[in-house]
Copies of this chain bind each other. A is one copy, B any other.
Amino acid sequence: MGLILVRYGEIGIKGKNRMEFVRRLRRNMRDALKRRGVAGRVWSEGQRVYAETDQVAEALEALRHVFGIVSLSPVVEVPPDLEAMKAEAVRQALAAGLGPGRSYHIAARRADKTFPLTSPEINRVLGAAVQEATGARVDLSDAADVVIGVEVQRERVLLYGGVVPGWGGMPVLSQGRVVALLSGGIDSPVAAWLMMKRGCGVIPVHFYQNETEKAKVLDLCARLQDFSAGFAIRPVIVDHGEVLGDLPQRLRALGQERWTCILCKRAMLQKASEIARDLGASAIVLGDSLGQVASQTLENMRVISHGLDALVLRPLVGYDKAEVVALARRIGTYDISTRAAEGCRFLPPNPLTRASLEGLRRVLEDLGETPPSPWAVGDAA
């Protein structure tokens, strides 16, 4: 059986929240293994979480996508005996390719204080053995080529040379649920992913116009699912035309076509807000970034979500396009989002780029609608 040590960590997590965090993390890790068909056991001990499995490589691949995990290391267990520890440290140093011209250090942690050597002493003794065997030089900084970790526990010692980075963040569902508008473009899946990383179970909502975009959305959801062990991603597909009704025609009749996009987005948010309430979600996530396209202005953002019952989150608002693209590539959504696209069929010739609240009030009046009050609807939860 192979053992994997899992490091989690978020500054400021303590007490009751920490227990909930770790409980949720273990649960999501178990689901991640199960989704890949990996048999294994997950448990926590002190400040660490462990996974034990026969399929270490597959388990690492599944677990490194679980949010809340900072890094993982396959570990080897030896008895709390200095000779056994030295031998294993040397074996791992050689396996990591350590030799003359390369650098290393030993990082011991003594959970069991009855062990006869202190952590600095363990570092020294094991370090000398590694130096003799490899001819590598000691570098106590983070820049060392290889760091061999040693955890001295009561009845065993764990050694590890390799570190697989995780994505950090918080375990999915530890922060509740959100609804995320998903369009098939580059931005919205990245926004949804960021909220997953911060511990949200994400419910994607897609406003259907054509099969091209819908197919992209379904593929994006499958990709996002890789990061959402513990919460099944089930997209809600809503017919775009049904949500809009005769709004485009009525606006045309009023000579107010330029308002189409803004009122369309308000209608989508209104619908998303109802879905959020029905499914126990606390917020709506948008892929908006400021100034990326002509219509993404502060004024338009304000008018689009004004008076809405739900909390609206725009995690990309401070991102450059190049940063969103880089992140989309890293998380594997970019290639799906950039497949051939079909544009929106309701797009008017000259959409408003700087709408005003006063204008919104007027156009709603012209349409015979009363401005919604956020107090009328009540709690989502």
A residues bordering B, Cβ < 8 Å?
10-12, 17, 168-170, 174-176, 178, 191, 194-195, 197-200, 282-283, 289-294, 297-299, 301-302, 305-307, 310-311, 313-318, 320-323, 325, 356-358, 361, 371, 373-375, 378-381
Contacts and interface: CB of A to CB of B under 8 A. Distances in A.
Given A381-B299, A381-B356, A320 B169 contact: yes
A41 B5 CA distance: 59
Q: Please report whether the interface of chain A is mostly helix, strand, loop or mixed according to DSSP.
A: loop
B307 A12 contact: no
Contacts of A289: 198
B379 A290 contact: no
B298 A175 contact: yes
Given A176-B297, A282-B302, A381-B356, A318 B375 contact: no
Contact of A305 (B11, B174, B311, B379): B311
A307 B374 contact: yes
Contacts of A357: 378-380
Contact of A198 (B282, B318, B375, B379): B318
- Give the most central of A168, A306, A316, A374: most B CB within 10 Å: A374
A372 to B, nearest CB: 9
Contact of A314 (B305, B313, B374, B379): B313
A318 B378 contact: no
A223 to B, nearest CB: 17
B378 A358 contact: yes
Given A291-B175, A292-B12, A361 B381 contact: no
Counted per complex, copies of this chain come to: 2
A17 B294 contact: yes
A11 B294 CA distance: 11
A313 to B, nearest CB: 5
Contacts of A175: 290-291, 297-298
A19 to B, nearest CB: 13
A22 to B, nearest CB: 14
Given A374-B307, A375-B361, A381-B356, A197 B298 contact: no
B11 A322 contact: yes
Given A12-B321, A282-B298, A283-B301, 7 more contacts: A11-B292, A176-B299, A178-B298, A194-B317, A198-B290, A199-B290, A315-B317
B294 A301 contact: no
24 contacts: A10-B291, A11-B322, A11-B325, A12-B293, A168-B322, A169-B320, A175-B290, A176-B297, A194-B318, A195-B290, A197-B320, A198-B291, A198-B317, A283-B298, A283-B301, A301-B311, A302-B380, A306-B374, A314-B317, A315-B317, A315-B318, A356-B379, A356-B381, A373-B375
B375 A371 contact: yes
Nearest to A374: B307
- Give the most central of A297, A315, A361: most B CB within 10 Å: A315
Contacts of A290: 170, 175, 195, 198-200
A145 B298 CA distance: 41
B302 A310 contact: yes
Contacts of A297: 175-176
A230 B371 CA distance: 38
Contacts of A310: 302
